[in-house]
Each structure stands twice: as structure tokens, then as C-alpha cells.
Structure 1
Amino acid sequence: MRRNSLTGLTAVFASAAGLAASLLVAGPAVATSSQPVITLDAPAPAALPAAPATAGVSFEFHTKTKNLQAYDATLTVDARGLSKIAKVTFSSNCTAHGLVATCGEMFESGSDPKNGLGSETQLTLTALRGSRLGATGTYKITGRSAHAQIVGGTGSVTVGGPSFGLNRLADHTDLKVGSNLTEPVQFSNVGNRPARGVQTVLAVSPGLDFVDHYSNCQYGSDGVVHLARCYPKGAIDIAETAALSAPVRLHVNSTALFTYLDVLTAPLGQPGWPDGPGMKWTWGKKTAPALKLRVIKAGRHSSVPAGSVSLPQDGTVTDYGIASLKARNTADFAVSGASAQAGAGKTATLRFHLAANGPATLYDRSGGDGVPTAWVTLPPGTTVVGHSADCDPWQEDNPTAAAKGPYVCHLPGYLVPRGQVADFSLTLRVDDVITHAAGSVQLNWGPDPAHSHRPAFDPNGRNDSAALTIN
């Protein structure tokens, strides 16, 4: 099972650069037109590494209007405020005159504007030779279209910054339900500026609980993952290696199976620090101990001002890590059958389900590949004339498959807790009356029953299949 980053929490764990979705340096103008409005998302502040390395800046927009089409959009990027600190290269859709560029864009929102609007416009920034560490500049974006009002904004760029490289986290297997485990968290500042402190996010997947709650950590949940964002005191010098003063302690609860600890570190003050949509954060009790930092290897003191925006990370250094934690547990999945009667030319609806009997929660970070499906074979002499939303013919755009099956019925998501029951239905027309015409529902782990391999965590195969009968 692949270890992807947290589904539904991309904004939390995209990376330090992705987290830096700060408030605009200068707020956008208020839209007064009756036209649809396209608004620039707050640009992430950029920190420039030493030349010749570069930092890239891209832009995202959003709108509340469905099916918006603005193929004639033009963005103007005024980067003259960066003239003293950076060389600016504009993307190929732009025509530049010095540090001011006009860039063609095609915006289309589709039926779900919540997905946001990407843009082709990008900046590639290189620090100028001799530019002072800590020096800051700004750029401004405006836009126009005959079909929408475009609301722009301003972004900032700073020369240099800290950059935290997180030590690799340890994976654990064969964890006993009810046990506790520890996970040390250690990182180094490989940037060219110190940080006045560190902020750390810890996220535990279903099946895990925090043992410790610290006074300088905030705790919250998005309904699936439990998070702690902590602010241990202590400056981080250049080349310093530090660790959380105590390893992260986790309790393996009765729902644990495939579960994870995600860790993200960033300089204190990193803009856009994660605050999931609608998430409520609660500070640990004042009487609880504080989480601190412990210096593993002293860095070097510097007169360079401390930074709060992380440098881009080059792939050899990452501020984000995932520990895979596998518990010794079971999760029993079962299917039910159904029966109905109907005369020739009449229809009958067969209702059946796929149930998660637990005790473990199945949490599939691969995006759905590790979640079972129900493979449905029709009773002979029948044709499908209707089906529930989560059931589809095994081949798309195949009229024969749509009429005669087989059908594949899917669970509603990547998280399958104990007690969840997914209800399905197929409505069949009886073409030929056959006494006790029997099809089947088969629990399937894979692309089809011929390649299905029941996992070791579901040892009970007696409830993996059931009959569907007509007449």
C-alpha cells in the first residue's frame, strides 16, 4: 500500500513552500462589477536561495461562478519592486518589457468552481549577486477580461532563508493493539539564515492517539486525522541540528491497522501555517508540560537576520516525513445477497450491501486501490435497467457490459470504519423466466475476481460471497 500524503489535508502537508499561502501584502481591490469575479489566491512568499539556484512562483485563482469561461484573460505582472534583489524570468505565455510582463490566460471554472483555477503564468527568480540576506521586495498582479472581473494582489520575495531538513522517521510493523510507541523527531537547518524558532505539525491517522498533550501545542481534527501544531521555544542557528525534547508518544488503539504519523517542520512564523477548513484548535492545558527543543549539534551564530520563510527544497532535503505504522489487527468485510420475483418483461430491484465488521478501520492512503469492492454477476435471463450511484458496469462505454454486467459496486471513500455499511441496488428486467435464476455478489480485492487476493487482515472468507436470485 503506497504511502501518499494525507488525503484531504493537502493544504496542511503540501511542503513548507506550499504552506506559505500568506495574506496578501497589499489587499485586493473590492469588486464592484456585476460580472463574474476571478480572484487571485494569496501568493506564497518566496525565499531566494543563493545564485545560481532559483525559486519558482506560480499563481492560483478562484471563482464562485460555475461554467465560467474567460479565454481572453490577460494578467499584468509588475515586478519592478524586485529590481534590487532578483533577476526575474517570466513564463512563455508572457511578453515582458523590462520587469513588467503581460501574460495571456484562459480561465474555465467548469461545473464545480471549488476546484479552483490554475494559471499558466509563472515567475522564475534568481537572487542578484551581492544582494543582502534578508532584503525584501514585492511584485503586483492585475488582470482584465471581457467576461469577468479579475482581482489581483501583491506578493513578497526575500533573499535567503532557513530550510529545515527532517531526519527520516522510523516505520513500525506488528504493533500490538493497546501498546504505545515512540517516534523521535530531529531536523537540521541547512539554509543560509537562522530561524528564531520552529513550528511543527504532527498528524496521526485513524488507529492512533497522542499520549502526551503539551501546553504549547494546539490540537484539532478534521474528522479523520488528529493533529497537533506545536511551538517549542528556541532559535535555530545555521547548520544546527535539533530535536523535539521528547519523542512523539502514540497509543495504538483498537481500530489501528494501516496507520501513519505525518510530521512537518517549518521556521517559526512561516506564513500560511495550516489551518484546515472549519477546523477548531484547542490549546493544551496550561498546567501541562511544554514541548521543548534539544540541541543535538550546535550551529554557527550569525549576524544575518532570522528568517520566517523557508527556502525551496531541492529533493535531497525535506521538511516533511511519514512514518508507516502497521498494527497486528483484523478487519472483516462481508457482502449480502438478495432475492426478488418478477414476471417476463417486468422489473425487480435487488438490494444488497458491503459491510465493514471491524474491529479495525481500513484507511487507504493509496487513493482507493486497497479498498474492497463488490463484483456483481447478474442472474441469467435478466438485463440491467437501473443501478445505484456507486455501482458501474465493469467496462465503461460498453453497451453489452451496461446491459449484462458484471457490475462493480464501490465503497464511498478511502476511509472505512468499523460498522460502515454501503447499500447498493440493481434494477433488472426479466427477459426470460428461469426458476431460481442465480447471480452473485463477490467481495473483490483487485481489478477482478480472477486476480483477487483476500488480505491477511481479513481471515474470514465465509462471508465473501452471496447469491442474487430472481424467481
Structure 2
Amino acid sequence: MGNSRITRPAALAAPVAAAAILALVSTPAQAADDLRLDVQSAVSIPAAPDSGDATAYQLSLNSRGTLTGSSPRDIVLTFDATGLAGIATFAPDTAWDAKCTTAGQVYTCTYRQYPTPQHPDFNSQFHPVLKALKGAPQGTAGHLKISQGWVDGQPNSVDVAVYAGGPKLELDAALDRDPANVGKPGSTVKQSLKVTNNGTLESGQLVVSAELGPGLSFKQKFANCSYGTPVDSSPPASRRSAAICTINTSVKPGQTVTIDPFEATVDADALYPDIEFDVLPRADVGLEYLRGAHRFTPASGSGPRLTAGGLPEDPAAKPGPPNLDRAHNRAIVQYRVDSHADLSSWAVWAPTDGGKKGTLKVTAHSNGPASVDYLRSGNTIAEFLVTLPSGVTVAGKLPDGCFVRDQHPNVVACNLPMWLASGEDKSFDLPLAVSDPAAGPTAAIALTTEQGGWENKVEPLPYDPDNTNNSITLALGSTATTAEPSPPSTGGGQSTPPAGGGSTGSASASASADGATPATSGSASSSAGTGGGLASTGSEGTDTMLWLGAGAIVVGGGVLALTARRRRAGTHQ
């Protein structure tokens, strides 16, 4: 048994990745000192066929804790497989750094945890192997007792029930399709589910969970469903809602049932909403992450019930063994709403030292009406490209999310988050040095797609019907200046100043298609920006402009067609 994989939660870059890991974690044992053992309280493993060996099953086990100081410590894991007699065999993880001993059906493994001062919290993942015995009775659980503790500490234990064979509830593969259009905000989503038991045992019960992403709200509530509110009170997590429903109908092997439709209302700021569904034979195994993310209120017991297509329920129904396979019992159903989000760019130059230094604040503001989220993919919803003219350089630490690529040293790129709500803004403060403020050097700022950011070119944002207010230019001289976008030219909505300040005047300059640098005002009370031009091809200076209104990139007098990469809206979820 060994440290087969160690991750440092503090170092995880994407919240989505962290959620995916935690979704596998189940019932925690009590902490031994500062250790925590996470493993499902019950598992179903494939039954042995009439001929040949049973398929091996890897148990997912996480050892989490904190190791401070500079000295390594040994963790001891003990597996007592005595209770698996007649059900399954057990073999410990055989990672390279394990020291294991065996006494009968008891396996004791020691592995060394090395400290990492920058990230004292650790998560070590182990995968011991279970294999069903021939003739093992289905529906009867064996038991694996697991203990964990520091070598010099007091261990704590957890019991895992192990079933040979079980139900295998799976959702219809047709749910994995292109996002469906659900009309305008205020409309109703009706989503039914087709479920088949492809396992070897009846399900006992049918448990359905539904987690609504931002932009959807439950329209009706069922008597046999518990409803949850998010533990995290900050958006976008606070915009989610969830339900766990228990239907007292047992699904037999080979049987297919259709669950009554869930109904959800499309909120005013919805754009790419989704619902994540799970179907399981019991509510206490497989929904640990959902329960950890929400506070659930018990089912009301009154009113209409969610049913499996009206099939009768048995009040005496009891949950069966856990699902055999988690590969097809979960689906994310995505939708598209007839709406859009208008993003606009704003900028403020605050000079110091006579203009030799200063801070360029660039802001992306959402004029709505929709909120934009790429929560499922974890991608940035947009990226700023800030092209610096000759003589202007970065003069300090860039804020989180901003960087300069080696191939374009005069371009600062800044990633917006995965979520930007209607009416909100995201700002980045860029520390700059200016060699000759009197020359009136001009920076070019624009929003582009993530792909456009990598390719250092401006692309239209797919959810924004009018991108003319996505780009501006701003003088970086000795006087403070502010740049505002020009109003959208077509139905993209009116640009409004971001919270905490906006333009102090109307645009006083515009870009020209021949690439000339627009005139800028040296007054702090007038804007030096425009919704027209932006340098974004990687050439230094402001002689390379993007004329968004014309839909082309102007490069030294030559014109290249501006193309947008087509993306399925659902891929950003």
C-alpha cells in the first residue's frame, strides 16, 4: 500500500477540478489527529461470471491532512478483510513507497508523507483492489474495516460495506446532446429522464438528484424531494439550487422507466443554464459532494410526488446496494436562452512621477441582460489584450490573471473569470513605466475570446451581439485620462459606467482605418478613448489597429478579415 497519488488542494488551479475530485469522496472517518479518511460507506463490485475471473474493482480512498514542520511523518493504514469472507478478495495498493505486512486477512501498510512548506495540506489517493468470489450471494454485504493514523498517533476506523453485484441505473444516452433552445427568460424548462437498470439486482428505490446551475429556479416542488440551498453564499455558487428525490419504486434488471418532468423557470439573466442529474438506488451513497455543497430541508411529505411515470410506489421499499457503475448514471443537460450579454471595455490612467510611472486600470463591464458563465469548462469568458506602445513597459508585479507571453512582449493579456454577472465588472491594475510621457504614447485595449488571446488577435465574443464597445485606446501621458467605449451600434444594449466610476466625459477621438493613432485629450475631465481602434496583432506601437465596426484587422494598410471561431455554446459550461 502506498502513496499512489498526492495532490495539494491549495495548488489546484481550477475550482472545477477540485469539485471533480471531491465528488468521488464519500463518508469521512473521524479525524485521527489532523488526518481525515474519505471513502464510500458502501460499494458494489462486479459479480463473478460463470466462467473466468471477476472484473477487478479499484476502491477510491483519500487520506487528507496537514503536515507542518520540516520532518516527514509515517501514516499507517490497516485493512481488515476478514469480513469479506465468501464475498470478495482484497489486495492493497502496491505503490512504490509502501511498506506492507500481512497477518491472515489483515494488511498493514506504512507510507511516508513528506512536508511541503508552501502547501502543508495534502490529499493522498489510494486504490486497493477488490474482486468478487464465484458464487458470492448477491444482495448480501461483506465488510472491509479500514483504520488510519500517524505512526505515533491514535488511529480511527471506518467500515465499508461490499456487495458482489448490484443494480446499475443508467440515464438515456440521448441526454448527451447539443444544448436545447428554451426561448426567452421567463420560459419554463421541462425535463424528463429515461432510466434503465442494466445491473443484476433490483434497485429497491429510485433516487434522483437535480442541481440547477445559475439561471434556473425550481418552478414546482415535490412532496418526496428535499431541496437544498448553497453553503457558499458568494456567486456563482450561491446561484445554484438542488433537489434529492426518493421514489419508492424498484427498477428491475432490464427495466426502463421514465421519471416525471422536472420544471424550472428561466431567470432574467440566464444565458447558458444547465441541470446536473444523478440517478441512484440509494440516497446515502454517491451524493456526498452535492450534500456538502447544499443545506437540505427534509421533504415536505405533502402535495404531488415525483414518480417513475406514474408507476405505483411501495411504502415499504428499502434502498438496494449502491450502483455498480458511476459512468452513465450522471448527465449534465445544457440549454440555450434567447438572450445576450453586452460587455464593454473601460480604462483609467493614473500617472505618478510626472507620468514616468503610473497605473493603467482596465475594466470589463457587463451591461447584461444576461450573466455569462463558462463554469462547466472552466474557461475564461473573455480575455483582455492590452497592447503597449514603444517606450511603455510593465514596471511591477502584474495582478493575478495577467501575464506577458514571450512571443508578444509588448502585449499584456488578462483572463476574465469563468463568471461575470449582469451589472458587474472585473478590473485589472497594470503597473507601467513610460519613457517619454510628453510624446503621448497610446495603449490599445480590447476584449477578445480565449482563443483570440492565445493567437493575439481580437475575435468577437460569441454571446455579445455588438462588439464595437469592446475596444478602446488611451493616452499614457503625464495627465490622468479616462477612456470609455462608444455606444453599441446595434441591439447590444447601452453601455453603462462600471461600479465605482466610469468615464468623466464622452469619447473625444476615434480610430481610423488607415491605422493612424487617434488624437487624445490631456484633460482629466475628458475621455481619451474610443470604441473604434485597437492594436492587437503583436506589432509594437499603435500603427496596427482593429476597426471593429468594419469587421477587419488593419495591418500596415492591408486588411485581414476578422473571423470568429464558432463554438457550441454548451462547450463553455
Instruction: Give the TM-score range, shorter chain.
Output: 0.7 to 0.9
Structure number with higher relative contact order (C-alpha < 8 Å, ≥ 6 residues apart): 1
In the alignment, the residues of structure 2 paired with residue 388 and residue 44 of structure 1 have an alpha-carbon distance, to the nearest angstrom, of: 46
- Structure 1 partner of 2:496: none
- Structure 2 partner of 1:292: 307
**1:42 to partner: Cα distance:** 4.1
Closer/same/farther in 2, CA of residues 291 and 182 from structure 1, 3 Å limit: same
Which segments of 5 or more consecutive residues in structure 2 lack a partner in the other structure?
Answer: 1-13, 49-53, 231-237, 313-317, 478-573
1:157-196 matches, cutoff 5 A: 157-168=162-173, 169=175, 171-177=178-184, 178-196=186-204
Identity %: 23
- Structure 1 partner of 2:570: none
Does the 8 Å contact 1:39/1:62 carry over to 2?
A: yes
Does residue 273 (structure 1) correspond to residue 275 (structure 2)? The answer is: no
Which of 386, 404, 408 in structure 2 is aligned with 1:376? 386
Q: Deviations over 1:191-240 (max 9, x none)?
A: 22212211111122222222221122122232132211111222222322
- TM-score of the two chains, using structure 2 as the length reference: 0.68
- Structure 1 partner of 2:266: 252
**1:422 to partner: Cα distance:** 1.0
Does the 8 Å contact 2:75/2:148 carry over to 1?
A: yes
In the alignment, the residues of structure 1 paired with residue 254 and residue 16 of structure 2 have an alpha-carbon distance, to the nearest angstrom, of: 30
In the alignment, the residues of structure 2 paired with residue 345 and residue 157 of structure 1 have an alpha-carbon distance, to the nearest angstrom, of: 71
In the alignment, the residues of structure 2 paired with residue 130 and residue 176 of structure 1 have an alpha-carbon distance, to the nearest angstrom, of: 55
- Structure 2 partner of 1:349: 359
Closer/same/farther in 2, CA of residues 8 and 262 from structure 1, 3 Å limit: farther
In the alignment, the residues of structure 1 paired with residue 401 and residue 45 of structure 2 have an alpha-carbon distance, to the nearest angstrom, of: 50
In the alignment, the residues of structure 2 paired with residue 281 and residue 194 of structure 1 have an alpha-carbon distance, to the nearest angstrom, of: 27
- Structure 1 partner of 2:297: 282
Which of 332, 335, 344 in structure 2 is aligned with 1:334? 344
In the alignment, the residues of structure 2 paired with residue 214 and residue 108 of structure 1 have an alpha-carbon distance, to the nearest angstrom, of: 50
What letter corresponds to residue 282 of structure 2 in structure 1? L
What's the Cα RMSD here?
A: 3.3
Which of 416, 433, 448 in structure 2 is aligned with 1:429? 433
Closer/same/farther in 2, CA of residues 165 and 253 from structure 1, 3 Å limit: same
Residue 92 of structure 1 aligns to a residue whose secondary structure is coil
Does residue 103 (structure 1) correspond to residue 113 (structure 2)? The answer is: no
Q: Deviations over 1:438-462 (max 9, x none)?
A: 1122112124264442134202222
Residue 137 of structure 2 aligns to a residue whose secondary structure is coil
Does residue 309 (structure 1) correspond to residue 322 (structure 2)? The answer is: yes
What letter corresponds to residue 130 of structure 2 in structure 1? L
Residue 277 of structure 1 aligns to a residue whose secondary structure is helix
Q: Deviations over 1:46-102 (max 9, x none)?
A: 212211223221210122455786464443322222132112233223546353334
Does the 8 Å contact 1:220/1:227 carry over to 2?
A: yes
What letter corresponds to residue 64 of structure 2 in structure 1? H
In the alignment, the residues of structure 2 paired with residue 293 and residue 128 of structure 1 have an alpha-carbon distance, to the nearest angstrom, of: 34
- Structure 2 partner of 1:302: none
**1:355 to partner: Cα distance:** 1.2
Q: Deviations over 1:349-405 (max 9, x none)?
A: 22221112211111203544351011112243233223552342222xx6x97xx64
Does the 8 Å contact 1:335/1:355 carry over to 2?
A: yes
In the alignment, the residues of structure 1 paired with residue 275 and residue 246 of structure 2 have an alpha-carbon distance, to the nearest angstrom, of: 18
In the alignment, the residues of structure 2 paired with residue 369 and residue 212 of structure 1 have an alpha-carbon distance, to the nearest angstrom, of: 32
Which of 35, 38, 45 in structure 2 is aligned with 1:38? 35
Does the 8 Å contact 2:79/2:146 carry over to 1?
A: yes
**1:171 to partner: Cα distance:** 4.7
Does the 8 Å contact 1:144/1:150 carry over to 2?
A: yes
In the alignment, the residues of structure 2 paired with residue 6 and residue 324 of structure 1 have an alpha-carbon distance, to the nearest angstrom, of: 17
Which segments of 5 or more consecutive residues in structure 1 lack a partner in the other structure?
Answer: 299-304
Closer/same/farther in 2, CA of residues 292 and 218 from structure 1, 3 Å limit: same
Q: Deviations over 1:136-173 (max 9, x none)?
A: 22223335656876644332212222110111326543
After superposing the two structures, state which structure 1 stretch, 178-187 or 364-373, moved more: 364-373
In the alignment, the residues of structure 1 paired with residue 299 and residue 77 of structure 2 have an alpha-carbon distance, to the nearest angstrom, of: 45
Closer/same/farther in 2, CA of residues 198 and 337 from structure 1, 3 Å limit: same
Does the 8 Å contact 2:43/2:321 carry over to 1?
A: no
- Structure 2 partner of 1:240: 255
More strand by share: 1
In the alignment, the residues of structure 1 paired with residue 239 and residue 119 of structure 2 have an alpha-carbon distance, to the nearest angstrom, of: 24
Does the 8 Å contact 1:193/1:306 carry over to 2?
A: no
Residue 83 of structure 2 aligns to a residue whose secondary structure is helix
- Structure 1 partner of 2:277: 263
What letter corresponds to residue 395 of structure 2 in structure 1? V
Which of 386, 401, 421 in structure 1 is aligned with 2:396? 386
Residue 231 of structure 1 aligns to a residue whose secondary structure is strand
- TM-score of the two chains, using structure 1 as the length reference: 0.81
What letter corresponds to residue 393 of structure 2 in structure 1? T
What letter corresponds to residue 105 of structure 2 in structure 1? L
Q: Deviations over 1:17-61 (max 9, x none)?
A: x37x2365xxx5x75xxxx63232244422122112232212101
Residue 294 of structure 1 aligns to a residue whose secondary structure is coil
Closer/same/farther in 2, CA of residues 11 and 230 from structure 1, 3 Å limit: farther
Closer/same/farther in 2, CA of residues 459 and 247 from structure 1, 3 Å limit: same
Does the 8 Å contact 1:79/1:139 carry over to 2?
A: yes
In the alignment, the residues of structure 2 paired with residue 405 and residue 391 of structure 1 have an alpha-carbon distance, to the nearest angstrom, of: 17
- Structure 1 partner of 2:244: 229
Does residue 85 (structure 1) correspond to residue 97 (structure 2)? The answer is: no
In the alignment, the residues of structure 2 paired with residue 247 and residue 184 of structure 1 have an alpha-carbon distance, to the nearest angstrom, of: 4
- Structure 2 partner of 1:465: 471
**1:266 to partner: Cα distance:** 0.5
In the alignment, the residues of structure 1 paired with residue 366 and residue 391 of structure 2 have an alpha-carbon distance, to the nearest angstrom, of: 32
In the alignment, the residues of structure 2 paired with residue 308 and residue 394 of structure 1 have an alpha-carbon distance, to the nearest angstrom, of: 54
